[in-house]
Structure 1
Amino acid sequence: MLFEAKTAEAIASFTLSDHQQVFLRDVDVFLDYLVKNPVPVSKNKNQPPVKWAEPLNRLLSSPDVLTLKRPLTASYARIMGLLLLGRSSGLASLRPDSRGNTILHVHDSIYQQWQVMTDIERYFTLLEAWINRGYATNVGERISAIDNRFLSGFMMMLGDNDLWQGRPAHDPGFYLRRGKAFNLSILKMTGLADFQFEDSNRKINYLKLTPWGQLFLTACRQGFKDSLICGNYEDDDEQINLLPAIKTIRSDVNNTLEKTAPVIAASYILSVALGSKCTRTLKVSADHLLEELAEAILEAFDFDNDHLYHFQYLTSFGADRSIGHPAMDFCDGSVTETRLHQLQPFPGMKITFVFDYGVNWEFEIVVMHGSEESTSDIQVIERKGKAPEPY
């Protein structure tokens, strides 16, 4: 059972404070702004530009006050926290446009679900999304953790005992340096911790979990530990069944956000680049094994298939995944057992094919679009540029 009696009683009697209701209003401000202002994001980090973030910051209940001469979007801790909540819940998603840009927008069907939810349902749904799927990589950042999630990857492993025992953190700056300001902002917005940022969100001199935060996060922390012991993983993540457990305690938590099933095409057009001037365009069946895709890529660039390799990509929630040669023991799966459709490809998705660890060739793959026209063989439909010599 995820929650012991004391925690279950606290969850059953929990009501939203004024502070937490303001947080939910800020979430709605963020979503409404994104509905009206879908925005191209940067290619490397999938972050919106600062000129998009600045007007949004002024609309929030407690705007970040920055004294930096040239602030970046990542400087706005509250906006980055809201962005991570949006991405991890599925409310905010990415899609390609006709010009090859990646657009951050509100996911219509999930947003419709959000609009019929009560505030208490929204609160627990966002907490669950952040705790289970709040990968920093989904907003273009990395934290010093085993998997880029704050609670399971960072706080559970590295958090000091003072914080967990209800005392102020011995070194609050440690949490800011390694856990990042946007995760701390989520802790504060949701009423799980108390602190104040200083120096344009670059310094923190105090950090303490609230009684609610200590109780709730300790239960979640133990849930992650139990899942590791039992090996009861979900979707390859050490996830905890947070919302189902809350539903058994509270009869007023019924509606949650259900992710729509991915649409899998019969085949996909993949653009594969080696450097800036050499590309090959392939047509690949969704049922082709990644082993077959690796062979086709190497052949298209006149490389011999004589070294180890792996494919690296981010899931739709930003989890880092790798599928490798059968001899590789650090990967999440094998190319001999994984088919392209299992990666849940979507237009604009980026995959890196790393070949020959001595030289470390990196082939950048972009999923251009899907097609209902199947193909039995992987076809090279376009070649541009001369491939480099592999040795």
Structure 2
Amino acid sequence: MKKRELTASQEQCLRNQVISPDQPGTVLHDFHTLLDYVGPEGVEAQGKYNLLPIKLIGELDRRLSRPLHLELELKRPQIRSHPYLQGLNLLLRASGLTCIEGTGTKARLVVDPEMMVQWEQLNPTEQYFNLLEAWLRFGRSEMVGEKSGIWNELLPKCLQAWQVLPEEGRRFDLKKPQEIYVSGVGREFFLLALMDLFGLVEVERPTRPITPWGPAAVRHVPFGDAIFTLMTTRLDSIWGEVISELEHDDQEDEDEELEDQEEGALEQPKFGAWQPIFQPYFPSWQKNLTLPEREPREGTFVFRVSLGKVWRLIAMPADHTLDDLVAVILRSVKFDNDHLHEFSYRNRLGASVSVHHPAMDEPPYTDEVSIGTLPVEPGQTMELTYDFGDNWRFTVKLERIETPDAKLKAPRILESHGKAPEQYQSWDD
């Protein structure tokens, strides 16, 4: 992406900007509205991605600064039907201010009271920039039920949308709303909605109902141009090839990048990485949210491992690794352990984490992740993909965590139900 230089007038624009619930956009006002509504009692977390429930779209919409009134035009609205609520839903998860309690039909999205105490101690400027990092550093499309596409990260998408937007803005044909496409973000209009909520662009809304919803026009605003320009001039070293597509020739840089990748998957994200960039213009940004570190748990982890209708109940000591779990799973179905594998699960924020076979290039590795450190609660599942040729997919559900068993020195198969399929297809007639 082509860089732009931050001008003196843009620097002055940043210094003059007051951050309040309604400036430079309404993100703080609307985010507080959803936080208050969800509260510590929570609301139903719907579907595979634990989203805000469809039945609340109309009520939540009416509480926003600028409602879309979608209930008047959609018979069966979905969260993606309301890009502003979808974007705010992403902030609820990516900020860590909410978490999921329970599983399945009993899952609820609740406000984390300890995180809420931290949040209330931040001033509006700190809240704004912590949410900006939650969105553009930690946010992933999958958190709100969308596919990631080429980029897992959201910053490159939004930067591209801003950079290719003509100086005079762009207007869309509302007669064909299903064909509205915004370069960079595509039809992920929740990203455009967030750019609007943060005051980084101006989104003109249709004057009449259209289905599906789409923007009537998008225009530049001085504050957004200054913020994005500052990002393009200062964030290469933080985002590396994700933004600049630069290759690191220096071995030390490569080692640091690998270390960062591993830490990013296994540790909680840390707010404040962009503070040195923005603090010169917003000196009141002093404090940040701190996500709770997950302490390793002790005990015996009992997993129900399913392959189609076949399932096994397996007990694992907490100090054993995912690599050990793979070995006992394969032994339980009489598979050879001579192919690559990968575990995937969702972290606290709702983003996917992949843990790889030790022979693969990208960390973290299954022989380094202990069972007791997994961010999986009873009732939640992981997926094990084994042999990327035949693509065996095991569902690994944590049934329960029992008290430590001193006699359990190694993984144990507790129950076996169903005959496992043959690992290799027979070519005999």
TM-score range with shorter-chain normalisation?
0.7 to 0.9
Unaligned runs of 5+ in 1: none
1:389 and 2:422 are equivalent in the alignment:
yes
Change over 3 Å in CA distance of 1:175–1:47 after alignment to 2? farther
Q: Which residue number in structure 1 is paired with residue 392 of structure 2? A: 361
Amino acid at match of 2:116: Y
Conserved in 2, the CA contact under 8 Å of 1:19 and 1:189?
no
Task: Please state how far the C-alpha of 1:4 moved relative to its aligned partner.
Answer: 6.8
Task: Please tell me the residue identity of whatever aligns with 1:102.
Answer: A
Aligned to 1:45: 49
Equivalent-residue separation in structure 2 for 1:176 and 1:62 (angstroms): 25
Larger radius of gyration: 2
Evaluate the alpha carbon distance shift between residue 301 and residue 167 of structure 1 in structure 2; reply closer, same or farther with a 3 A threshold: farther
How far apart in 2 are the matches of 1:10 and 1:362?
A: 53
Quote the residue 1:29 is aligned against.
Answer: 33
Q: Deviations over 1:16-36 (max 9, x none)?
A: 364546432211110111116
Instruction: Mark the CA change 1:217 to 1:200 in structure 2 (over 3 Å): closer, same or farther.
Output: farther
Alignment partner for residue 290 of structure 1, among 318, 322, 345? 322
Are 1:151 and 1:221, in contact at CA under 8 Å, matched by a contact in 2? no
Q: Distance in 1 between matches of 2:168 and 2:236?
A: 22
Q: Normalised by the size of structure 1, how large is the TM-score?
A: 0.85
Q: 1:20-169 to 2 correspondence within 5 Å?
A: 20=24, 22-35=26-39, 38-66=42-70, 67-96=73-102, 101-147=106-152, 149-152=153-156, 154-156=157-159, 158-159=160-161, 161-163=163-165, 166-168=167-169
Q: Quick one: distance in 1 between partners of 2:202 and 2:182?
A: 15
- How far apart, in 1, do the equivalents of 2:399 and 2:341 lie? 23
Q: What's the counterpart of residue 236 of structure 1?
A: 264
**Two-structure CA RMSD over aligned residues (Å):** 3.2
Post-superposition Cα deviations, 1:138-174, rounded to whole Å, max 9, x if no partner, equal 2222243321x3213x234x547433x7552598723
Using the alignment, how far apart are the partners of 2:389 and 2:286 within structure 1?
53
Are 1:279 and 2:279 matched, yes or no? no
Within-5 A mapping of 1:168-187: 168=169, 173-175=181-183, 178=186, 180-187=188-195
- Aligned equivalents of 2:164 and 2:145: distance in 1? 30
Q: Deviations over 1:308-348 (max 9, x none)?
A: 2211223323443322223434x433333443345444445
1:64 and 1:77 in contact (8 A); partners too: no
Distance 1:319 1:23, change over 3 A: closer
Equivalent residue letter for 1:69: K
TM-score between the two structures when normalised by the length of structure 2: 0.78
Give secondary structure in 2 for the equivalent of 1:186. Answer: helix
Alignment correspondent of 1:195: 203
Deviates more, 1:309-318 or 1:252-261: 309-318
SS at the partner of 2:384? strand
SS at match of 2:336: coil
| 1:282 and 1:379 in contact (8 A); partners too | yes
Query: C-alpha displacement at 1:359, in angstroms?
Result: 2.3
Q: Pick from 209, 215, 231: which aligns with 1:220?
A: 231
- For 2:6 and 2:32, locate their aligned partners in 1 and report how far apart those are by CA, in whole Å: 33
Write out per-residue CA displacement over residues 208-240 of structure 1, whole angstroms, 9 at most, x where no aligned residue: 332111221232244442231555554338998
Residue ranges of structure 2 left out of the alignment (5+ in a row): 173-179, 241-247, 425-429
Counterparts of 2:232 and 2:16, CA distance in 1? 21
Rounded to whole Å, the distance in 2 between the matches of 1:259 and 1:348 is 23
In structure 1, the residue matched to 2:245 is none
Summarize the Cα distance change of 1:249–1:281 in structure 2 as closer, same or farther, 3 Å threshold. Answer: farther
Percent identity reads 26
Moved more, 180-189 or 233-242: 233-242
> Equivalent residues in 2 for 1:11-22 (5 A)?
11-16=14-19, 18-20=22-24, 22=26
